Amino acid sequence: MNIAIFKAYDIRGKYPEEINEATVARITETIAKSIKKGKIIIGCDVRASSFSLCKAALDALKSFNGEVVPVGVVTTPMFYFLVNQFKANRGIMVTASHNPKEYNGLKMVKEGAFPISGKEVLELITGNQ
């Protein structure tokens, strides 16, 4: 896994060289394990690679002992609203925001739609909490 994709505010990189379905699945599993049960909202933007990455995230949550709420294609502000509306414990949005089309990534939030940084996720993955 390329640790350079873990940024201060999110996770992003060129698809599929730096971020791909396997990477997204591992990150999603890590986020789910950090809460063990509860509710996770998953959405995506309209980038060509977002649908495949979102499916990888959903597939990674099949063994999650909680509720998974796929919200489909949404804007980032709508994603934040839905995390609050559904009182979710976590939210995962597949998006690279303003970056060029060859990029993709993840924005992750906890209760209240407060951001989880890419650096925090990397610490969870590596076990250096």
How far is C-alpha 79 from the chain's CA centre?
A: 11
Between β-strands 103-110 and 11-14, what pairing exists: parallel, antiparallel or unpaired? antiparallel
Helix or strand holding residue 43 (H, E): strand 39-44
Which residues belong to the active site?
97
* Backbone φ and ψ of 87, nearest 5°: 50, 50
